[in-house]
Amino acid sequence: MNVHRSPGGGRSDPPAIIREAKFAIGDVVKHRIFPFRGVIFDVDPTFNNTEEWWLSIPEHVRPRKDQPFYHLLAENEDSAYVAYVSEQNLLADETGEPVGHPQTPEIFEAFEPGRYRLRPRISN
Q: Note if the pTM is more than 0.75.
A: yes
On average, the pLDDT of the chain sits at: 86
pLDDT at 22 over 80: yes
Taking the C-alpha atoms of residue 107 and residue 120, their distance in angstroms, rounded to an integer, is: 9
- Tell the burial category of 41 from Cβ atoms under 10 Å away from its Cβ (0-12, 13-18, 19+): buried
pLDDT at 4 over 80: no
Q: What percent of the chain has a predicted confidence (pLDDT) above 90?
A: 74
pLDDT at 8 over 70: no
Q: What is the pLDDT of residues 37-79, one digit of tens each?
A: 999 999 999 999 999 999 999 898 899 999 999 999 999 999 9
Question: What distances in angstroms separate CA 94 from CA 17, 28, 30, 114, 121, one per listed residue?
Answer: 30, 9, 9, 7, 29
Confidence of residue 3 (pLDDT cuts 50, 70, 90): very low
What are the residue ranges spanned by the domains of the chain? 28-118
Q: What is the pLDDT of residues 84-123, one digit of tens each?
A: 999 999 999 999 999 999 999 999 999 998 899 999 887 6
pLDDT at 2 over 80: no
Count of all residues that appear for the chain in the document: 124
